Chains A and B, each alone.
Chain A
Amino acid sequence: MEKLIGEFSLGLFFWQSLIFIGLFFLLKKFAWKPILDAVNERETSIKDALASAEAARNEMESLQSDNQRILKEARAEKETLLKEARITRSELINGAKEEAQMEAQKILAQAQEAIQNEKRAAVIELREQVGSIAMEIAEKVLQKELESNDKQLQLVEQLLKDTNLK
């Protein structure tokens, strides 16, 4: 202890305090304050940047999910539209088919009817002509055959024979 007190030099202590306190105030003003302020500013700016990046990412995510939703809706709409179109198409086709069939049948029936009628008329006409031709021929034959009595008698005889009354 005595050695320590003996070693203590007031002058050195005085200068040390003076230099240190001077250095302290100078550094405080010119170095530590700007350095710590700059570091703090940098840290807050980094923090802010990180936070804003996070916010941007969140927004992006929500946008993306929105897009997804809209896309899904559009797809669903397209699907329903397609389905409807398909149904309408098949309905249209079926309807057309049926109509055509009906029309065809009608035309067919009409044609058949017309043919029948023509045929009938033709048959009637034919029959009349054949009848008249047959009558003419029969007249001519009869006139020829029954020119003499003998022949008339012969014929009666023949006819009688042929009749063969039994």
Chain B
Amino acid sequence: MEIPVMVGAGLVVIGVGMGIGRIGGSAMEAIGRQPDAYGKIQTAMLIAAALVEGIGFAALFAV
């Protein structure tokens, strides 16, 4: 891999990491606020995280 491509891959990983981190953090907060809705929040969190991850993979494989 050439250097710019590597930097691009790194940026993608940073972005995706931040995105999934935020999703996870928000989900934790939401569960803390409403422990009863645990199942629904977890499902929504996984879906959102999976979508972000998917974009990340698409970008990684595109480079």
Q: Is A142 an interface residue (CB 8 A)?
A: no
Residue of B nearest to A4 (CB): B61
Secondary structure dominating the interface of A: helix
Taken together as a complex, chains A and B put the C-alpha atoms of A4 and B58 apart, in Å, by 11
Min distance, Cβ B61 to any Cβ of chain A, angstroms:
6
Interface residue total, chain A, C-beta cutoff 8 A: 3
User: 8 Å CB contacts to A: which residues of B22-63?
Assistant: 61-62
Q: Is A1 an interface residue (CB 8 A)?
A: yes
List residues of chain A with CB within 8 A of the CB of B62. 1
Interface residue total, chain B, C-beta cutoff 8 A: 2
User: 8 Å CB contacts to B: which residues of A16-55?
Assistant: none
Taken together as a complex, chains A and B put the C-alpha atoms of A4 and B61 apart, in Å, by 8
Residue of A nearest to B63 (CB): A1
Taken together as a complex, chains A and B put the C-alpha atoms of A3 and B62 apart, in Å, by 10
List residues of chain B with CB within 8 A of the CB of A4. 61
Residue of B nearest to A3 (CB): B61
List residues of chain B with CB within 8 A of the CB of A1. 61-62
Min distance, Cβ B11 to any Cβ of chain A, angstroms:
18
Min distance, Cβ B54 to any Cβ of chain A, angstroms:
15
Taken together as a complex, chains A and B put the C-alpha atoms of A3 and B61 apart, in Å, by 9
Residue of A nearest to B60 (CB): A1
Taken together as a complex, chains A and B put the C-alpha atoms of A1 and B61 apart, in Å, by 5
List residues of chain A with CB within 8 A of the CB of B61. 1, 3-4
Min distance, Cβ A5 to any Cβ of chain B, angstroms:
10
Taken together as a complex, chains A and B put the C-alpha atoms of A4 and B60 apart, in Å, by 11
Taken together as a complex, chains A and B put the C-alpha atoms of A1 and B63 apart, in Å, by 7
Taken together as a complex, chains A and B put the C-alpha atoms of A105 and B22 apart, in Å, by 117
Min distance, Cβ A3 to any Cβ of chain B, angstroms:
8
A interface residues (Cβ-Cβ under 8 A, vs B): 1, 3-4
* 4 closest A-B pairs by CB: A1-B61, A1-B62, A4-B61, A3-B61
Between A and B, 4 residue pairs with Cβ closer than 8 Å are A1-B61, A1-B62, A3-B61, A4-B61
